[in-house]
């Protein structure tokens, strides 16, 4: 059976208004490969889940659809490997891929994602380095 690399549906950030709210009200951290936007949400509303939601963006400036989709898949997998280490609080994350991410080897992609998550303070440091120890060795 194939293992899915999709994020579970409740963890996905999909609505345009939610993306705009993160850009407008959130903070950002960046390195040479990835930009991370973070916005805290109030967790008291029943329609507002008490866990993080994650979105991914790759600009058309980076390349055609095949290139953008490949970058999005690489980012999504790197984040998926860190899901168990994320603090379970109500916040939204948006990862924006920079064109340099395309040429990076897989361990550098993992490092870039891990770095911005650590800078933003959303990683639970009590957990191990990767939620899937084989993820750091797999190719892209």
Question: Of 85, 75, 81, which Cα lies nearest the Cα of 112?
Answer: 75
Question: Of 119, 139, 113, 121, which Cα lies nearest the Cα of 130?
Answer: 113
Please tell me the pTM assigned to this model: 0.84
Note the pLDDT of residue 4: 56
Burial of residue 30, with CB atoms counted within 10 A of its CB: 0-12 exposed, 13-18 middle, 19 or more buried: middle
Which structural domains are found in the chain, ordered by start?
9-125 (3.30.230.10)
Dihedral class, residue 124 (left if φ above 0, else alpha if ψ from -120 to 50, else beta) = beta
Write the pLDDT tens digit of every residue in 55-89. Answer: 999 999 999 999 999 999 999 999 999 999 999 99
Instruction: Report the distance separating Cα 78 and Cα 95, nearest Å.
Output: 11
Write the pLDDT tens digit of every residue in 81-129. Answer: 999 999 999 999 999 999 999 999 999 999 999 999 999 999 987 655 5
Question: Of 100, 54, 52, which Cα lies nearest the Cα of 77?
Answer: 54
């Amino acid at each position: 059976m194939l293992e899915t690399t999709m994020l579970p549906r409740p963890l996905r950030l999909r609505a345009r208004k939610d993306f705009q709210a993160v850009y407008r009200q959130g903070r950002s951290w960046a390195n040479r490969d990835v930009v991370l936007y973070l916005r805290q949400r109030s967790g008291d509303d029943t329609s507002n889940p008490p866990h993080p939601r994650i979105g991914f963006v790759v600009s058309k400036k980076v390349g055609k659809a095949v290139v953008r989709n490949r970058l999005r898949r690489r980012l999504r997998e790197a984040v998926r490997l860190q899901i168990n280490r994320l603090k379970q609080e109500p916040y939204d994350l948006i990862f924006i891929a920079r064109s340099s991410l395309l040429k990076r080897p897989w361990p550098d992609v993992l490092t870039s994602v891990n770095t911005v998550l650590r800078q933003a303070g959303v990683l639970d440091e009590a957990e191990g380095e990767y939620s899937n120890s084989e993820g750091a060795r797999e190719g892209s």
